[in-house]
Amino acid sequence: MNTLQTTIPTHRVRVSQATTQTDGDRHCVVTHAVLLRLRTSSYYALRSLTCEFRSGQLYLDGNVPSYYMKQMAQETVRHDDRVEGIINRVVVRYLD
């Protein structure tokens, strides 16, 4: 049985799991850790973004109000060693 524990330190999210884990479980753990980072971001615009982790690639989706926020979304999630690449599909939609 896999166990999942999360803690929210000031700058990093740590996710630990049991050593016996399938690829599907690994994808869920990575997705959960990344979503936790986004949901706890000090940038409100990043909290509604979604992501999907497949074959080492993290796909970011959603809308933000500026290119700066798009870059901050990518920077927020790039520090996970399990992520080999980030596909940033976040769309910039300027507020009227």
Q: Which tokens sit at 70?
A: 């798009």
Tens-digit pLDDT profile for residues 31-71:
999 999 999 999 999 999 999 999 899 999 999 999 999 99
Which CA distances in Å does 19 have to 3, 22, 32, 63? 9, 10, 17, 36
Rounded Cα distance, 26 and 75, in Å? 21
Q: How far apart are CA 42 and CA 36, in angstroms?
A: 12
Q: Whole-prediction pTM value? A: 0.69
